[in-house]
C-alpha cells in the first residue's frame, strides 16, 4: 500500500479522543461563531477524514494563488485546488482569535470545527478571476463550480482547524461514508496491496462496471474502490441515496466477493474537470489506492473541457515525482454489438458508431421516467429498476 501524499502517515484533523473532543465542544460554545459555506464545510470534512493530508487547515491567499497558478503551495507542496474558507463578512473576527465554524448543511447549524485565525485577507476581483480561471478553465458564471466558488464571498480566513464531526455524511450514509483512515484499514484487512479507485457522482451502467473489471485485470489489482461523492451536486443529478443503492446492487450481483469496496466521501462536486481529476488522485493516494481510473470527461460538465483533458493534465502539468498514485487512462467505453461485450472504443478501430449501444443521458432519463428499462447491454436490469422507481417518483 502506498504512503499518503506529502507525509509518512495520514493526518486526519478530526479530534478522535472523546475527552478532547468534549472539551473542544465546550470551548466552542463561548467562541465567536460563523456559519460557513457548504464548500468550506466540505473542505473541513475532507480535512477531518485525512483525505487532504498533509494540510492542517484552510490555505491563505498566497498559497491559494500559488496552488491555482502553479499547482503547489508557496512552500512547494504539490496541490491542485485551493482549500479555502471564503466568507462575506469578517468584521467580528481578529487575527489570533479562535472561532467556531457552524455547519450550514445540518439543521440548527451545529459547530463543525474550531479554527485558529492566522490571517484575514480580502481577495481582489483580479485575484478571484485568476483563481477561478485557473481552477475551472473558464470565468463563465453558468458553470456550476464557478458560480458556487464566487458565491462564498471575498474574505479569506486561513489557519488550522480541529474538527468535531463529519457533518451529515456519517448519519445519512452510515453504510457508505468512510474516512481515508477507515478505507486504508479495510484494505489492509482484506490484504489489498494494489488497489484501483473508481470515482463516480452517477449510477454505474454496464460500461462503468466493465471499466472497473478491465482495470482490475489489466493492472492485476487486488481490488477496486468504488468511491462515490456524497455531497452537493448541481440540479438534475441523481441523489446520493439512489446512486448508492444502484451501485451496491450492481456490485452485489456482478462482482466477486471482496473484490470491490463500495464507499463514499463527503465533498461537494466542483465540476472542475482536469483540476478536480488531480485532486481525486491526491486523495485516492491518501486512501491507499495505487491507481485511479480517469476516463472521458472526468469530473467535467457541459462542454467546458476537452474529452481527455483530465488525462493530459497528468502528463503536461503534474511533475513526475509529485504523486505516487498512477493513472489508468480509459477511453469511452460502450457495448459492442459486433463483439457482444463492452469494450473501449479505441480498442475497436473497425467499428462505426452504429456498432455500439450508445444512449444519451437525456434519452436514458426519458426512458427511465416512462418506466422503460434501457437495454441490458447498457444497464443491468436490477440497476435500471432502482433508477426507474426514482424517476417515476419525481
- Using one digit for the tens of pLDDT, what is the confidence trace for 9-38? 999 999 999 999 999 999 999 999 999 999
For the cut 90, the answer to whether the pLDDT of residue 218 exceeds it is yes
- If pLDDT is split at 50, 70 and 90, which confidence band does 1 have? confident
pLDDT score at 52: 98
Whether 183 and 317 map to the same domain: the answer is: yes
Give the long-range contacts of residues 234-238, CB within 8 A, separation 24 or more: 234/144, 234/269, 234/271, 234/301, 237/201, 237/202, 237/269, 238/202, 238/203, 238/387, 238/390
Residue 113: what pLDDT? Answer: 98
pTM of the complete model beyond 0.75: yes
Instruction: Please state, in angstroms and rounded to a whole number, the distance separating the CA atoms of residues 177 and 81.
Output: 23
Q: Give CA–CA dist 2/178, Å, rounded.
A: 19
Residue 227: pLDDT band with limits 50, 70, 90: very high
- Asked if residue 237 has pLDDT above 90, the reply is no
213 and 137 co-located in one domain: no
Give the whole-angstrom CA distance, residue 266 versus residue 39.
Answer: 11
Residues 93, 131 share a domain: yes
Distance from C-alpha of 171 to C-alpha of 253, rounded to nearest angstrom: 26
pLDDT confidence of 333, banded at 50, 70, 90? Answer: confident
- The phi, psi pair for 28, rounded to 5°, reads -60, -30
Mean pLDDT on 324-349: 91
Asked whether residue 364 carries a pLDDT value surpassing 90, the answer given is no
Cα dist from 147 to 139, 143, 268, 272, whole Å: 9, 6, 13, 12
Q: How confident is the model at residue 365 (pLDDT cuts 50, 70, 90)?
A: confident
Kindly report, residue by residue over 308-319, the tens digit of the pLDDT.
999 999 999 999
Give the catalytic positions in this structure.
201-202
Domain membership flag for residue 1: no
Q: Do 260 and 383 lie in a common domain?
A: yes
* One domain, residues 57 and 129: yes
Number of domains composing the chain = 2
| Span 68-108, pLDDT tens digits | 999 999 999 999 999 999 999 999 999 999 999 999 999 99
d(CA 53, CA 33): 26
Q: Flag whether 30 is in a domain.
A: yes
Given this model, what pLDDT does residue 358 score? 87
At 282-324, the pLDDT tens digits run 999 999 999 999 999 999 999 999 999 999 999 999 999 999 9
Mean pLDDT of the chain: 95
Q: Are 181 and 10 in contact (CB under 8 A)?
A: yes
141 and 226 assigned to the same domain: no
% of the chain at pLDDT higher than 70? 100
d(CA 64, CA 262): 32
Q: Is residue 300 part of a domain?
A: yes
Least confident of 103-112, 139-148, 260-269, 347-356: 347-356
So what's the pLDDT on residue 80? 98
Q: Which of 153, 178, 171, 176 minimizes the C-alpha distance to 110?
A: 171
Last residue of a domain, one of 146, 167, 188: 167
Angle between helices 381-393 and 240-254 (to 10 degrees): 160
Main-chain dihedrals φ then ψ at residue 326, nearest 5 degrees: -110, 155
Name which of 267, 261, 55, 286 is nearest 184 in CA terms.
Answer: 286
User: Looking at 137, 167, 197, which one is the last position of a domain?
Assistant: 167
Cα torsion for 375, 379, 382, 386, to the nearest 10°? -110
Residue with cell 480509459: 330
CB-based contacts of 348, cutoff 8 Å, min separation 6: 336, 338, 339, 355
For residues 61 and 212, what is the distance between their CA atoms, to the nearest angstrom? 39
Q: What is the pLDDT of residue 235?
A: 84
Q: Say yes or no to pLDDT of 361 above 90.
A: no
What average pLDDT score do residues 201-230 get? Answer: 95
Let me know: does 41 contact 167? Beta carbons within 8 Å.
yes
Which pLDDT score, from 0 to 100, does residue 100 have? Answer: 98
> How many C-alpha atoms does 231 have within 13 Å on its Cβ side?
21
Residue 147: CATH number of its domain: 3.10.400.10
Q: Is residue 8 part of a domain?
A: no
CA dihedral of residues 170, 171, 173, 176 (deg, nearest 10): 40
Let me know: does 225 contact 261? Beta carbons within 8 Å. Answer: yes
Domain range spanning residue 301?
Answer: 176-265+273-393
Residue 278 lies in a domain: yes
> What DSSP line would sit under 328-390, residue for residue?
EE---EEEETTTTEEEEGGG-TT--GGGEE---HHHHHHHHHTT-PPPTTTS-HHHHHHHHHH
Closest CA to 205 of 373, 13, 25, 8: 373
Does 183 lie in the same domain as 223?
A: yes
Is residue 327 domain-resident?
yes
Q: Do residues 371 and 229 both lie within one domain?
A: yes
- What is residue 127's predicted lDDT score, i.e. its pLDDT? 98
Clarify whether residues 367 and 256 are in a common domain: yes
- State pLDDT tens for residues 241-270: 999 999 999 999 999 999 999 999 999 999
The domain spanning residue 199 has which CATH number?
Answer: 3.40.50.620
What mean pLDDT comes out for the span 121-127? 98
Domain match, 384 and 249 both: yes
Q: Whole-angstrom Cα distance, residue 48 to residue 113?
A: 9
200 and 333 part of one domain: yes
For residue 301 the three cell numbers come to 460538465
Which residues are paired to 115 by β-bridges? 99, 161
Q: How confident is the model at residue 383 (pLDDT cuts 50, 70, 90)?
A: very high
- Residue 37 falls inside a structural domain: yes
Given 167, 188, 215, which residue is the final one in a domain?
A: 167
One domain for residues 233 and 359? yes
Structural domain includes residue 219: yes
What CA–CA distance (Å, rounded) separates 54 from 13? 10
Amino acid at each position: 500500500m502506498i504512503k499518503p501524499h506529502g507525509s509518512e502517515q495520514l493526518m486526519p484533523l478530526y479530534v478522535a479522543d472523546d475527552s478532547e473532543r468534549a472539551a473542544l465542544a465546550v470551548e466552542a460554545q463561548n467562541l465567536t461563531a460563523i456559519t460557513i459555506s457548504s464548500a468550506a464545510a466540505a473542505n473541513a470534512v475532507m480535512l477531518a477524514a485525512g483525505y487532504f493530508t498533509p494540510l492542517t487547515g484552510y490555505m491563505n491567499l498566497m498559497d491559494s494563488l500559488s496552488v491555482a497558478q502553479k499547482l503547489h503551495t508557496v512552500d512547494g507542496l504539490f496541490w491542485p485546488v485551493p482549500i479555502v474558507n471564503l466568507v462575506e463578512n469578517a468584521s467580528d473576527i481578529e487575527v489570533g482569535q479562535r472561532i467556531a465554524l457552524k455547519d450550514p448543511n445540518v439543521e440548527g447549524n451545529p459547530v463543525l470545527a474550531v479554527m485558529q485565525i492566522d490571517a484575514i485577507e480580502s481577495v481582489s476581483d483580479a485575484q478571484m478571476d485568476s483563481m477561478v480561471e485557473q481552477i475551472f478553465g473558464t470565468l463563465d458564471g453558468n458553470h456550476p463550480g464557478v458560480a458556487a466558488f464566487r458565491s462564498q464571498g471575498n474574505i479569506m480566513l486561513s489557519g488550522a482547524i480541529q474538527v468535531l464531526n463529519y457533518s451529515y455524511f456519517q448519519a445519512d450514509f452510515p453504510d457508505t461514508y468512510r474516512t481515508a483512515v477507515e478505507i486504508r484499514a479495510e484494505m489492509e484487512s482484506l490484504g489489498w496491496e494494489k488497489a484501483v479507485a473508481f470515482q463516480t457522482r452517477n449510477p454505474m451502467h454496464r460500461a462503468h462496471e466493465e471499466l472497473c473489471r478491465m482495470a482490475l485485470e489489466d493492472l492485476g489489482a487486488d481490488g477496486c474502490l468504488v468511491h462515490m461523492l456524497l455531497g452537493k451536486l448541481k440540479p438534475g443529478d441523481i441523489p446520493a441515496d439512489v446512486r448508492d443503492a444502484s451501485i451496491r446492487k450492481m456490485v452485489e450481483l456482478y462482482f466477486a466477493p471482496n473484490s470491490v469496496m463500495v464507499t463514499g466521501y463527503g465533498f461537494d462536486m466542483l465540476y472542475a474537470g482536469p483540476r478536480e481529476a488531480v485532486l481525486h488522485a491526491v486523495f485516492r493516494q491518501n486512501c491507499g489506492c495505487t491507481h485511479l481510473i480517469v476516463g472521458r470527461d472526468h469530473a467535467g460538465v457541459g462542454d467546458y473541457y476537452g474529452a481527455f483533458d483530465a488525462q493530459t493534465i497528468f502528463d503536461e502539468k503534474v511533475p513526475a515525482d509529485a504523486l505516487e498514485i498512477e493513472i489508468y487512462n480509459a477511453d469511452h467505453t460502450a457495448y459492442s454489438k459486433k463483439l457482444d461485450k463492452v469494450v473501449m472504443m479505441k480498442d475497436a478501430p473497425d467499428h462505426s458508431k452504429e456498432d455500439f449501444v450508445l444512449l444519451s443521458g437525456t434519452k436514458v432519463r426519458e426512458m427511465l421516467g416512462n418506466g422503460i428499462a434501457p437495454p441490458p447491454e447498457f444497464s443491468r436490469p436490477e440497476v435500471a429498476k432502482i433508477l426507474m422507481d426514482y424517476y417515476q417518483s419525481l
